[in-house]
Structure 1
Amino acid sequence: MNKQVTDRRTLGVNFNTEGTATLLFWIPEANTVAVRFNQHEFPLLRAERGYWNLTTNVLQPGTNYEVIIDGKAFPDIYSLCQPNGVHGISLAIKLSDYQWTDNSWSNPPLDDYLIYEIHTGTFTPEGTFNGIIQKLDHLKTLGITAIELMPVAQFPGERNWGYDGVFPFSVQQSYGAAGGLQQLVDACHAKGLAVILDVVFNHIGPEGNYLGQYGPYFTDKYKTPWGDAINFDDAGCDEVRRYFLENALMWFRDFHIDALRLDAVHAIKDFSPKHFLKELKELVDELEQLTGGTNHLIIECDLNDHRFIDPLPDNGYGMNAQWTDEFHHALRVCAGEKKQGYYSDFDGLDSLKATYDHAYVYHGQYSAQRRKSFGTDPSENPGKQFIVFSQNHDQVGNRMLGERSGALYSFEMQKLLAAAVMISPFIPMLFMGEEYSEPNPFLYFVSHSDPELISAVSKGRKAEFAAFHHEGDVPDPQAETTFLNSKLQWDKLDHTPHQTMYKYYQALIRLRKTHPALRISDRKNIQTVAHTDKGTLIIIRSGGGLQLHCILNFSGQKQSFSLPGSNPGAQLIFNSAASDWNGPSNHFEPLPAGSIITLPPESILIFEQHV
């Protein structure tokens, strides 16, 4: 790819400063290509490598159009706007028309990210970008520094998690379309909040997927959970790669997005000499030099391979950070989750200790579930490259009944899980609503229009949970009630115990952001001790001349403990069991090292000492 791809969007319909439209489509097997608008067809000229182009002053922003390939009409797969959905006509828009007010904004370093994951449709009653804007003060008061939006690329209907998107360049119409997303990002920056956008480059959804009508966007060389893989290394792959690379650059350049979260990159099948992710990182670096800004690339990856997050000079792919599901799995087993499915590989406290020590639980050991040795050792990768959480959209929504932690665990255990995330040397992430123990589920929902697809999704969901029939019926993904039952209940914030939980999260986040031993992501300066017989874990963090002893009790009983350390005057600075948080209230005076303390069940006590 050349630098022009970095400078500006070149694919699809674009407008220069004078208002002239340039059209560029890759349709290598077509005999004729035209665009139809204003009841006229305008033929495109064949160019090299299967491209077709046109420059015209007739097509203007705000005009509906469609692409005619060998006489048959299709929506534009490069479309920036699909006002009538995935099967409807495309709308030409000019992204540069938006007047940004964030000139003074500077994307914070990853060390300062404290992430809050949002599904736009269920976060507010409105289910729109504007609805999110109305809640930014809530997030700011909570202490959040970055929001992460689940995918917003145009999907079928108005109800979807977003991973069924089929127009990667077009922002979901029901959320507020491109202009609404630009306004949201602008508003976030005005509040001091970074914006992460979840994008899907490993598959395209089943309904409204017209990419195959344009060219070889898919290959049967590899299979993924969603069918044929996207073509990143087979014949025609250069132009397919360009499609997705331009998409990533568009979000950074034209929407001022601060970071992308790339979904399931282990399903990006690419054996090219230069992996797609490495090429993406090189172009993002180039973009940063052109704009003077900073953009982060975050991945979801199931391979425990630090090559993905190693810097380019170290022969890595250069991704800035990754989600760390193994922390979640180990934490949930500590909280009492049954060791079945993907939890079967985790041994509670020992596995949780391993995540604090190594980031990956499996960093070369034998995995019984996978039946092979698994993982690499990321000992040289800093803590800021790992994002940890006690729940997220996947781990909640992929349960049959979509239960959040608020429906699964006691009030005290929920507080302990939150603290386990916040005291880690990694980047913390919350899932929307957890800060006040939202009781509503987050279910799997869709709004397809194809009856056969609707039936297949429903049957597939039932088959997936056939062994759990004793827990009740599987909620119908297509039913609007499934979607509505997944919306947050903001009125809960005015009542106990939800208001108490919110204040607890505020205090916990404040401690995370202000204490010198917790602010740093130094993985070298952490000690861990697991007492599996007691169900307790000790995490020692140091910084700024202070040492924190974080003692976590996952058991349902009180546990007596000798306070570690050699200096007198240990002071309790945080107590999840305090009466302020509806706990059984424990107060401690400054204690000499070696003092015996009693941990309440399902609690964390944090002691501070000078060193």
Structure 2
Amino acid sequence: MTRRFGPAVTPGGTLFRLWAPKAEVIGLEVDGADAGPMTRTADGWHRLQHPAGPGSRYRFVLPDGLKVPDPASRFQPEGVHGPSEVVAPLPPPATAWCGRPWEEVVLYELHVGTFTPEGTFRAAMGRLPHLADLGVTAIEIMPVAAFPGDRNWGYDGVLPFAPAASYGRPEDLRALVDAAHDLGIAVLLDVVYNHFGPEGNYLPLYAPLFNEAHETPWGAAVNFDAEGRDEVRAFAVENALFWLEDYGFDGLRLDAVHEIRDDSPNHILAEIAAAAARLPATRPLHLIVENEDNEPAWLRRDYRAQWNDDLHHGLHVAVTGEDEGYYSDYAGRSDRLARALAEGFAFQGETMPYRGSARGAPCRDLSPTAFVAFLQNHDQVGNRAFGDRIAHGADPAAVRAATAAFLLCPQIPMLFQGEEWGTSAPFQFFCDLGDDLKDAVRDGRRAEFRRFSAFADPERRAAIPDPTARETFLASKLDWAELQRPPHAETLAWYRGILAARRERVVPLLQDMGAGDGEVTESGAVAVTWPSGQSRLSLLLNLSAQDRPHPAAPAGDVLWSEGPGWSEGRLGPWTALWNIARA
């Protein structure tokens, strides 16, 4: 694909280019000096060839004199309000990498800024051997696109081609990807095409970035389907390919695609997937989505898998007893947990009371690997008032049983950083926006919890950590010294053991595995069986503090027994019993 956005390094210097149809004249500043007006074409593009090379810093000058960064900047050494840097094309990787088949994947979601004390790409490289030893075969990195300030979850990104300077330089990110590949670990990147952050986005001043006809939780939708849309669509497609080609990422996780508004005949999600499919087939590429609407059509055609929130919610309420907000639709509904384990979506066209409308569609025809299973992720931890992990308050036996359920499930499992040793660190919501936004962010964050009974008292809400405070960010950093201390070392050993069991016994069954049959037994236990060729994988799950009658002994060989297990017609409390039998 011919690149149209961002600077193009040429033998004679650099070709600078900017799509700014709202402006008749755009100036260029290079290394602090006026480089003159750029040449405008009828389609709104402004271009100028200049002898500057890699390392030079440049800005575009709008008609009113405002100096802005390149929206396709490859690096912002002085932050999102500063000049952009010309970056030399990254060299090809030194070693060959053939990728990972999807059925082998054990995902590990991490946030670069809190994964290590240093919070950099280079520091994260040093922890990759730990992940390889754990049994992780792919990491999913939370968004790294340049954001305002020096700390952010990543979803306030405004310059989607530029890795955040607080994490390191582009070469450092590329080194992280290459180091992971050297250890047999695939790397996916979380990307955001549903909105831009609230600070540092200058694009709307000179281009039709937004379509006011569509509303999202962040304001007007990104303009994928109105006048001027073609270049906006091309910007998103080129960005997706940029990460896959230039950095060698093995896939992308597209954030909240249900908030991407596109009424055009060829949805932008389909266009991104089609463009990725045209890349040279040097390794498997894995495109996955987060989609609150549970639309299986995307998984049949264009995307490898979807985060399975239904399974998370069913497991979470069983372990914690929480039943407010969207958890209310899963509390006391073991049938929905059984369906989420067996088929993927718990809601397949039925009305979801919490949202007051139908959700999802039938998905039994999909492979179990079309779903990503988890008990923790950045949303489900970080969107809690105090960012507390499930292990911080729930019965350890309950957490262990639920974890055994999703880690050996034929869906693709995902861990959230530090989960494997039961980290004491929370993962709190944090950002570093300008002073004019801090009060609104702090007050808005606390107001979100007003509807929950635990935070009806204003004094209780005032205790919710300030997301703009640096201390909130620092509290979320992992403490790697915990690995050497009990009970963390024992927890880590348990995770290594169960992931080894998955690798040796479950993964070989996945290519031939179909959707499962799930039921709730008369005693209230969840029973699921998945067919795979001449074998059957089965789970008996008792996520309660009482034992339950289950007269028949589970058939086949025991794969894993967590909790008291089955004995003399009883299934013990907090038990996850996995078996493999011949069909």
Residues 1:112 and 2:126 are matched in the alignment:
no
Answer whether contact 1:170 1:177 (CA < 8 A) is retained: no
Q: Paired residue for 1:405? A: 390
Which one is further off, 507-516 or 77-86?
A: 507-516
Answer whether contact 1:512 1:518 (CA < 8 A) is retained: no
Residues 1:417 and 2:387 are matched in the alignment:
no
Which one is further off, 140-149 or 470-479?
A: 470-479
Q: Paired residue for 2:18? A: 25
Answer whether contact 1:516 1:543 (CA < 8 A) is retained: no
Q: Paired residue for 2:560? A: 574
5 Å-filtered alignment, 1:202-281, equals 202-281=194-273
Partners of 1:262 and 1:446 in 2: CA distance: 21
Residues 1:152 and 2:144 are matched in the alignment:
yes
Residues 1:601 and 2:573 are matched in the alignment:
yes
TM-score after normalising by structure 2: 0.94
- Cα deviation, residue 600, structure 1: 3.2
- Cα deviation, residue 560, structure 1: 3.9
Answer whether contact 2:365 2:515 (CA < 8 A) is retained: no
Q: Paired residue for 2:478? A: 488
Give the ranges of 4+ consecutive aligned residues of structure 1 lying more than 6 Å apart after TM superposition: none
Partners of 2:538 and 2:291 in 1: CA distance: 32
Deviation digits for residues 470-505 of structure 1 (CA, Å, limit 9, x no counterpart): 656110001111111111121111122211111111
Answer whether contact 1:304 1:376 (CA < 8 A) is retained: yes
Answer whether contact 1:387 1:429 (CA < 8 A) is retained: yes
5 Å-filtered alignment, 1:289-368, equals 292-311=282-301, 318-346=302-330, 347-368=332-353
- Cα deviation, residue 20, structure 1: 3.3
Note closer, same or farther for the CA distance 1:456–1:521 as it changes in structure 2 (3 Å cut): farther
Partners of 1:172 and 1:23 in 2: CA distance: 21
Q: Paired residue for 1:64? A: 57
Deviation digits for residues 321-360 of structure 1 (CA, Å, limit 9, x no counterpart): 2111111111112213322211122243111111123211
Deviation digits for residues 134-158 of structure 1 (CA, Å, limit 9, x no counterpart): 1111100110000000000011111
TM-score after normalising by structure 1: 0.90
- Cα deviation, residue 160, structure 1: 0.6
Give the paired residue count.
574
- Cα deviation, residue 214, structure 1: 2.6
Partners of 2:412 and 2:342 in 1: CA distance: 15
3-state SS of paired residue (2:441): helix
Note closer, same or farther for the CA distance 1:335–1:521 as it changes in structure 2 (3 Å cut): farther
Counterpart pick for 1:455 among 415, 434, 439: 439
Answer whether contact 1:528 1:537 (CA < 8 A) is retained: yes
3-state SS of paired residue (2:279): helix
Aligned residue identity for 2:381: V
Aligned residue identity for 2:257: V
Counterpart pick for 2:510 among 517, 520, 523: 520
Partners of 1:36 and 1:431 in 2: CA distance: 43
Partners of 1:608 and 1:298 in 2: CA distance: 29
Deviation digits for residues 367-416 of structure 1 (CA, Å, limit 9, x no counterpart): 21222232211122222211111110000000101111111312111211
Aligned residue identity for 1:574: W
Once superposed, what is the RMSD of the aligned Cα atoms? 2.0
Q: Paired residue for 1:552? A: 541
Q: Paired residue for 1:581? A: none
Partners of 1:530 and 1:499 in 2: CA distance: 35
Which one is further off, 70-79 or 209-218?
A: 70-79
Q: Paired residue for 2:71? A: 77
5 Å-filtered alignment, 1:30-109, equals 30-38=23-31, 39-56=33-50, 58-70=51-63, 71-96=65-90, 98=91, 100-102=93-95, 104-109=96-101
Q: Paired residue for 2:370? A: 385
Answer whether contact 2:501 2:559 (CA < 8 A) is retained: no
Q: Paired residue for 1:561? A: 550
Note closer, same or farther for the CA distance 1:559–1:533 as it changes in structure 2 (3 Å cut): closer
Partners of 1:168 and 1:525 in 2: CA distance: 37
Counterpart pick for 2:167 among 175, 199, 224: 175
Counterpart pick for 1:194 among 161, 186, 195: 186
Q: Paired residue for 1:314? A: none
Answer whether contact 1:306 1:378 (CA < 8 A) is retained: yes
Q: Paired residue for 1:283? A: 275
Q: Paired residue for 2:429? A: 444
3-state SS of paired residue (2:372): strand
Aligned residue identity for 2:576: I
- Cα deviation, residue 319, structure 1: 1.8
Answer whether contact 1:387 1:427 (CA < 8 A) is retained: yes
Aligned residue identity for 1:503: A
- Cα deviation, residue 516, structure 1: 4.6
Unmatched 5+ stretches in structure 1? 312-317, 578-584, 589-594
Answer whether contact 1:202 1:263 (CA < 8 A) is retained: yes
Partners of 1:120 and 1:19 in 2: CA distance: 36
Q: Paired residue for 1:501? A: 491
Deviation digits for residues 215-262 of structure 1 (CA, Å, limit 9, x no counterpart): 010111111000111111111010111111111110011000110101
Partners of 2:579 and 2:261 in 1: CA distance: 48
Note closer, same or farther for the CA distance 1:407–1:258 as it changes in structure 2 (3 Å cut): same
Note closer, same or farther for the CA distance 1:341–1:498 as it changes in structure 2 (3 Å cut): same
5 Å-filtered alignment, 1:579-594, equals none
Which one is further off, 137-146 or 330-339?
A: 330-339
- % identity of equivalent residues: 37
Aligned residue identity for 1:460: G
Unmatched 5+ stretches in structure 2? none
